[in-house]
Structures are given as structure tokens and as C-alpha cells.
């Protein structure tokens, strides 16, 4: 029972978008969807239209990220797991109101 609760806490929204042969994976921690974060004078919106796809366990999202050519991630859960798996570099992470965010383009 505890493991189910723990896994529920690690859910993220992930959306896969294809543009020709390029694959963009956008993922956000479930609790951030629909929120607006402040970044200086910029408002960063975690928009449903962009991030809301399937609600999955963070490990499932990481498997999708592995094969993506473009990645857009926001939230401590998804960023921590991607870092742990070596999929993103720590210097590629921005802090937006205490929330980690990264964008990666693989050439």
C-alpha cells in the first residue's frame, strides 16, 4: 500500500509531439499543471495545452525522454529523475521561482 502512495506522488504529465522526424517530449510534475511561475518580469505558464498528455509514473516519462530529440521539463520530480539517469546536465537547469526547468535540443 505504501509503494502505491509513493508512486502516485511521482506522477507527471507527459506529452509527445512529432514534427517530421523530430520528437518533442514535454513533461511536468502533476502538481504544476496549470500554474504560473514568476521569473523576474516573466510569467512562466505551465500550460495544459503544451504539457497535458498522459499522466504517468516518472520512470515511464524518463523512458520517453530517452528517445526524444527535444525535451522540455519542469518540476523537481521529473528533473531529479532525468538527472539521476544522466539524461540532462545540471548546468542546463534554470530555477523559476524555486522550480527547476530545462530545455534540451539534441542534434
Residue 33, number of CB atoms within 10 A of its CB: 18
State whether residue 105 is helix, strand or coil. strand
- Categorise residue 73: left if φ over 0, alpha if ψ from -120 to 50, beta otherwise: beta
CA–CA gap between residue 25 and residue 38 (Å, rounded): 23
Q: What is the pLDDT of residue 9?
A: 66
* In the chain, domain spans: 2-105
The fold for domain 2-105 equals 3.30.1860
Whole-model pTM? 0.88
Q: What 8-state DSSP symbol labels residue 90?
A: G
CA–CA gap between residue 58 and residue 27 (Å, rounded): 9
pLDDT per residue over 19-62, tens digit each?
Answer: 999 999 999 999 999 999 998 898 999 999 999 999 999 999 99
Check: CB of residue 106 under 8 Å from CB of residue 69: yes
Q: Is the pLDDT of residue 2 over 90?
A: no
Amino acid at each position: 500500500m505504501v509503494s502505491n502512495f509513493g508512486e502516485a506522488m511521482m506522477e507527471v504529465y507527459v506529452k509527445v509531439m512529432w514534427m517530421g522526424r523530430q520528437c518533442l517530449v514535454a513533461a511536468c510534475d502533476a502538481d504544476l499543471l496549470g500554474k504560473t511561475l514568476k521569473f523576474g518580469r516573466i510569467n512562466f505558464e505551465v500550460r495544459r495545452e503544451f504539457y497535458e498528455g498522459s499522466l504517468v509514473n516518472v520512470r515511464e516519462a524518463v523512458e520517453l525522454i530517452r528517445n526524444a530529440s527535444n525535451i522540455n521539463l519542469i518540476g523537481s520530480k521529473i528533473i531529479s529523475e532525468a538527472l539521476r539517469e544522466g539524461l540532462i546536465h545540471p548546468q542546463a537547469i534554470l530555477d523559476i521561482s524555486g522550480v527547476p526547468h530545462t530545455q534540451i535540443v539534441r542534434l
